Every structure is written in C-alpha cells, then in structure tokens.
Amino acid sequence: MAMGRNVMRAVRVFEFGGPEVLKLMTDVSVPVPKENQVLIKVHACGINPVETYIRSGTHAKKPALPYTPGSDVAGVIEGVGEHVTAFKKGDAVFTLGTVSGGYAEYTVASVDTVFSLPDKLDFKQGAAIGIPYFTAYHALFQKASAKAGETVLVHGASGGVGMAACQMARAYGLKVLGTAGTEEGMNLILKNGAHKAFNHRKKDYITRVKEFAGAEGIDVVIEMLANVNLANDLQLLSSGGRVMIVGSRGPIEINPRDTMLKESSIRGISLFSATKEEMRECAASLLAGVEAGWLKPVIGPQYPMEKVADAHKDIIHSQGALGKMVLVIR
C-alpha cells in the first residue's frame, strides 16, 4: 500500500449474494481511527461461517452496502485515535471485531475489542482466536454452565469453534467427545483435547456415541449443524442435558416430547448477543488459556485475498474441516 495515496486493497461487497459478490478492490481509502479506536495493519484475518451468511443476505445482521467482511484480525497497530492509552504504534494485537472490516490491508477497530497478541502466538493464530474461542467459551460455560466431570459432545470438532471447544473443555476437566468428517479430522481433534473421536459420515456413529456415553448420556452438546443433528442430539442427552446451537443452515423437525422426561433444553448461541461483561470474562479466560498453554489455535487452509471467493465456497462445502481457515493479508 502506498501510504502517500492513503489507499489500500480490500474486499468489498456491493450486493448480497453468492461468493462471486466478494470483490477485491485496490483503491479503497485507508480508514481513519476516531475516538477510542485504533488503526491496525492487518497480517491475517480469520474466515468464519457467519460471514458467508451475512454476505448472502440470509443472516439477521445485514450491514449497509457496500461493506468489507471480517472481524477477527491480527496485525500491528499503525495509529491510534483520541483517548487511546492502552496501545501504541507497533504493538502486535488481535481483535474480536472491526469497525471497517477485516478482509483488508488496514482496518479500524474499537479499542474495547482489541487485545495484545501474546508472544506465544503468531499472527495467523491471533486471527483464529476471536469468534471461534469466544463462541466456544460463551456456549460451554456462560450458557451451558458446563462443569468439570460432565461429558460434552462437540459436533464438527475439527473446525475453528469445535477445536476451541475441545481444547477448553479438556482444560476445564470435562470428558470430551468430538465428531469429524475425515480420518485426518478425527486425528486432529484427538490431539487437541478430545478423549474420543467419531466419524459423523458413518451411518452408525450415533449408536457408537450412545454406547460410549453409557446410560448417563451426554450432558452438553455443542451443535454446529442443528438442521441435521438436533433430533439425534435429544436422544443422546443425559437428565438435564443441554444442546447449544452454534450453527444451523435450515429447519428441522423434532419431537418436543424428547425433551420432557429428561427435562433437557435447547438453547441458541450468538456472540452478537453477549453482554460486555460476558465478553470481558471470555477474554480473561482465553488470555489465561494462552499463558497456561491449552489455547493453541490450529491453522487450516490459508488463502490470499485474491482467492477469498474460494474460501467462502470451501468453508461451507468442504468435506471436512482441518483447523481454522484464514485469509493471509501480508
């Protein structure tokens, strides 16, 4: 980027639609940080499924057009707005949100969504923390009230949120079961917190989960694809068991009676609805996790900005996730 011209490369969306509406522009103005904001030179940006739903226009959250997607960036502070004292130019940081969008060479973020990047993590790992780890903590502990000694089943455990849930559930003393769609994915989750892995492409995998869990059942299910799995999840639950819906791509028919005898519950999860107090708690726990060594983002497919449309296709249609997908900016 030529700083003298104050323009940068950024991905812009001018209309809602398929991945083809993601346009890489070379003449986007570099944003200017306002009060309590910072300007970040972006090195990497995490790619999250929710960004595909927003881009398609099917999500409840619809930004004004045109916009730049992306919330989870890692990079270096380039400048600060008024009243910012926590950061200075040159500081390595990661974010849980941006004001101007993360699929760009530079982004502006509110200072309360910016955190110092620990020395133990590189920029790609920093870009993998935001939505995945905050969502996993929010689901497991703030909404499901998971406790040490309980059993958790993480569906789609080889993706960003799933891997985060496995790592932290193991660190907090839960018995961790995970599902993945490939042998590689199963091996990956076993290395990242899962006590037992199941292939969710096998027809009998639900039976195997039931057999492994035993008569007591599953206390908490972290569900990434509720439109496929929810009816089965209810059959797996323990008395008082909880299903946390992190992701769903359509409707599903369930029998409410399946919740009655066990007094089980189904709860939707959205990080957008978390309170500031909840977010502060998440941040404190996750930064402690980095120090303790259990928070280790696993980086999967990496894409240059020119291939962003491919990334949006792959995150929805790939045969099986293998770590966190990231956009590499520089």
Could you tell me which of 179, 176, 173, 215 has the C-alpha nearest to residue 197? 179
Q: Tell me the mean pLDDT in the region 304-317.
A: 96
* 99-145 per-position pLDDT tens digit: 999 999 999 999 999 999 999 999 999 999 999 999 999 999 999 99
In Å, what is the CA distance from 9 to each residue of 2, 107, 219, 299? 10, 11, 47, 24
pLDDT of residue 321: 79
Instruction: Calculate mean pLDDT across residues 48-61.
Output: 93
Beta bridge partners of 323: none
Dist CA 272 CA 330 (whole Å):
28
Q: What is the maximal distance between C-alpha atoms in the chain?
A: 68
Confidence check: pLDDT of 5 > 70:
no
pLDDT of residue 302 exceeding 60, the answer is yes
Q: Looking at residues 269-287, what average pLDDT do you find?
A: 94
CA 321 to each of CA 67, 271, 315: distance values in angstroms, whole numbers, following the listed order: 27, 21, 8
pLDDT of residue 61: 87
Residue 1 has pLDDT above 50, yes or no: no
pLDDT score, position 288 = 96
